[in-house]
Amino acid sequence: MNRKRRNDRNQVIYLLTCVVTGERYVGLTVARTRAYKKSMNIRYDAHIRNATIYGKDTLLYRAMRVYGPTAFTKEVLEVVRGKAEAHRRELEIAREIGAELNMEGFGRKTNSVGV
């Protein structure tokens, strides 16, 4: 018998800011217990791997390759219960602050850092 997957886990909404350009990225990751900052840092490490090792092509990853992963500050913005609500809130926050490095929900296809 298969277990029903949980859909009410806590999700961490975080903000990455490039200190060189001031450009921002709003992201979302699952909370690992109550270690919200640790959860964000684990996800940030995955962003670094995607940018440097795997060469994925997003606005955030291009900025990471240009300015380096140490050029970003990290901040937990909110913890939201439930995946659907967290995705809705993430997009809402990204739109409110005009997150320049987010692509999803903005229809962006080009890079603002000019690379």
The model's pLDDT over 9-19, given as tens digits with 9 standing for 90+, comes to 999 999 999 99
Contact 50, 103 (CB under 8 A): no
| Residue 79 backbone phi and psi in degrees, to 5 | -120, 125
Residue 77 CB neighbour total at 10 angstroms: 17
Q: What is the C-alpha to C-alpha distance for residues 109 and 103, in angstroms, rounded to an integer? A: 7
pLDDT digits (tens, 9 = 90+) for 53-112: 999 999 999 999 999 999 999 999 999 999 999 999 999 999 999 999 998 767 666 544
Place 4 in a pLDDT band, splitting at 50, 70 and 90: confident
CB 103 within 8 A of CB 112: no
Task: Determine the pLDDT at residue 104.
Answer: 76
CATH number, span 10-97: 3.40.1440.10
Nearest of 66, 48, 53 to residue 111 by alpha carbon? 66
Domain boundaries, the chain: 10-97
- pTM for the model stands at 0.86
What is the Cα–Cα distance from 66 to 40, expressed in whole angstroms?
Answer: 22
Per-residue pLDDT of 6-55, as tens digits, reads 668 999 999 999 999 999 999 999 999 899 999 999 999 999 999 999 99
